[in-house]
Amino acid sequence: MESALTKACTIKIQNFEGPFDLLFHLFEKNQVNIYDIPINEITDQYMEYLFAMQQMDLEVASEFLVMAATLLHIKSKMLLPEKKEKEQEEVDPRDELVSRLIEYKKYKEFSATLKEREKEWDRVVYKLPELIELKWEEALLELSPEVLQKVYIKMLERNKKKLNTGARNITQIIQHEKVSLRSKMREIIRNLFNRAFVRFSDIFTLKTKSRTEVVTGFLAVLELSKLKKVKLEQKHAFAEILVYRNDEEFGDIEDEKVAGDDYR
Q: If 0-12 CB within 10 Å is exposed, 13-18 middle and 19+ buried, where does residue 221 land?
A: buried
Q: If 0-12 CB within 10 Å is exposed, 13-18 middle and 19+ buried, where does residue 149 land?
A: exposed
For residue range 106-153, list pLDDT tens digits in order. Answer: 888 888 888 888 888 888 888 888 888 888 888 777 778 888 888 889
CB of 89 closer than 8 Å to CB of 82: no
Q: Where are the domains of the chain?
A: 4-79+93-115, 179-263
What is the per-residue pLDDT for 124? 84
pTM for this model (two decimals): 0.34
CB of 24 closer than 8 Å to CB of 67: no
pLDDT by residue for the chain (264 residues), tens digit each? Answer: 344 444 444 334 445 667 777 777 787 777 777 677 777 778 888 788 777 776 665 555 677 777 778 777 777 777 766 665 544 556 677 777 788 888 888 888 888 888 888 888 888 888 888 888 888 888 777 778 888 888 889 999 988 888 877 767 776 666 667 888 898 898 888 888 888 888 888 888 888 888 888 899 899 999 998 988 888 988 888 888 889 888 776 655 444 444 444 444
Q: How far apart are CA 1 and CA 95, in angstroms?
A: 39
What is the per-residue pLDDT for 219? 92
C-alpha dihedral (166, 167, 169, 173), degrees to nearest 10: 120
Q: How far apart are CA 49 and CA 44, in angstroms?
A: 9
Task: Classify residue 6 as left (phi > 0), alpha (psi -120 to 50) or beta.
Answer: alpha
Element (H, E) at 69: helix 62-79
What is the per-residue pLDDT for 250? 62
What is the per-residue pLDDT for 205? 85
What is the per-residue pLDDT for 263? 42
The string over 127-144, giving b where at least 16 C-beta atoms fall within 10 Å of a residue's C-beta and e elsewhere, is eeeeeeeeeeeeeeeeee
What is the per-residue pLDDT for 154? 92
DSSP state of 194: S
Q: How far apart are CA 220 and CA 199, in angstroms?
A: 14
What is the per-residue pLDDT for 1? 37
Domain 179-263 is found in CATH 1.10.10.580:
yes
Q: How far apart are CA 198 and CA 46, in angstroms?
A: 111
What is the per-residue pLDDT for 153? 92
For the stretch 9-15, contacts whose Cβ atoms lie closer than 8 Å and that sit 24 or more positions apart, written own/partner, are: 9/48, 9/49, 9/52, 9/53, 9/56, 10/52, 10/56, 13/49, 13/52, 13/53, 13/56, 13/58, 14/58
Instruction: Give the HSE-up count for residue 113: Cα atoms under 13 Å, Cβ half-sphere.
Output: 6
What is the per-residue pLDDT for 59? 58
Element (H, E) at 242: strand 242-245
Angle between helices 95-121 and 62-79 (to 10 degrees): 150
Select from 201, 207, 204, 202 the least CA-distant residue to 179.
Answer: 204
Element (H, E) at 117: helix 95-121
What is the per-residue pLDDT for 222? 92
